[in-house]
Chains A and B, each alone.
Chain A
Amino acid sequence: MRLLRRSTGLKDVSLQMTPMIDIVFLLVIFFLCTAEVCKLELDPAVTLPVAFRASPETGDHRLVVNVGRDGGIRVMSAAYAPGELRRLIAEEAARQPAPDGGTALAVKIRADADAPYRHVSEVMAACRDAGVRRLAFGASPGEESAGSGRDLR
């Protein structure tokens, strides 16, 4: 930062447009990119169940499977029937082999809180059959009130 002598007149006053344009462009690019990611991976119609012991997202790559309130399965905005999902997970698992011979594929199930469990169970069965061991469920962080969410260990 520099110290400049304060000017006395208003002749040299000018509005600097360059940084403003710069920031506006950055904002536009940012919101375009994040909107695309949200549209592809996360189904906004899914209301996640609350969990007190959920851990923050670490950003590692996972196959995200959305299960809607009506049981509809969506991956990257595309609807899948249970049989198609089974094939997709098997293919992805084969594409990511682990050193021990299994699969390194990790799956995250974002199931609606009110979705019937049978639909979530189908997705889990598909993961199990494909040899997927790293599974996570999307959850909303719970607010700890008196007596709830305490660690009981």
Chain B
Amino acid sequence: MATFAGSRTLKELLEEYEWELPTSFIDVVFLLLLYFTLTMKFHTLEQRMEAYLPNKGPGSDERPPIKPELEIQVATAGPASGAPVFQVGTWTTADPNALAAKMAQLERTCPKYYQVVINGAQGCPFKHVMAALDACARAGITKVDFRPPPAADGSAA
């Protein structure tokens, strides 16, 4: 065993002396512990999906570039099942992973060619629309537009 202060061993030194932690040190450690625990929890609990709406505000002259639209129709299979139905043209699936693969394939074939528009059925749960948006994000498509709800008279807004 290593010796210190002449011939005394480390064990003898530790027995003879005691550590006194300053109160401010304990304060800071507790505060840091609290801070990191709580911020980590917030990050895990809630996140966000970004979406960028084309600028169509009043008085705005800016218009999005004209691109062919690729519409993803989102609906529910039936009121009893609640399962989603995603439709791109004539292609239909109920699996968000299959939709993501389809969108990735389209994006690889024609990068940035289409303006992807999500058209959710008005009564379908929001989670299905979010699944479609998530599938686009996984395929690398971040600029997604949303079909506006029909106006009260039945015409498109």
Could you list which residues of chain A lie within 8 angstroms of chain B, going by C-beta atoms? Answer: 1-6, 16, 18-19, 22-23, 26-27, 30, 34, 42, 48-57, 67, 93, 101-103, 108, 111-118, 120-122, 124-125, 127-142, 147-153
Out of A18, A53, A139, A148, name the residue touching B97 (CB < 8 Å): A148
Contact B130 A113 (CB under 8 A): yes
> How distant is the Cα of A48 from the Cα of B60 in the complex, in angstroms?
33
Could you list which residues of chain B lie within 8 angstroms of chain A, going by C-beta atoms? Answer: 15-23, 25-27, 30-31, 34, 38, 42-60, 62, 74, 96-97, 100-101, 103-104, 107, 120-131, 133-134, 137-140, 146, 148-149, 157
**Which chain B residue has the least Cβ–Cβ distance from A153?**
B140
> How distant is the Cα of A111 from the Cα of B128 in the complex, in angstroms?
12
Task: Give the number of A-B contacts (CB < 8 Å).
Answer: 194
**Which residues on the A side are within 8 Å of B56 (C-beta)?**
128-129, 131
Given contacts A3-B19, A6-B15, 11 further A-B contacts (CB under 8 A): A6-B16, A51-B49, A113-B126, A118-B122, A118-B123, A121-B122, A131-B56, A131-B60, A134-B50, A138-B47, A139-B49
Identify whether the interface residues of A are mostly helix, strand, loop, or mixed: mixed
**Which residues on the B side are within 8 Å of A26 (C-beta)?**
30-31
Q: With contacts A117-B122, A117-B125, A153-B139 known, is A127 near B49, CB below 8 A?
A: no
Contact A153 B47 (CB under 8 A): no
> How distant is the Cα of A34 from the Cα of B103 in the complex, in angstroms?
41
Contact A113 B125 (CB under 8 A): yes
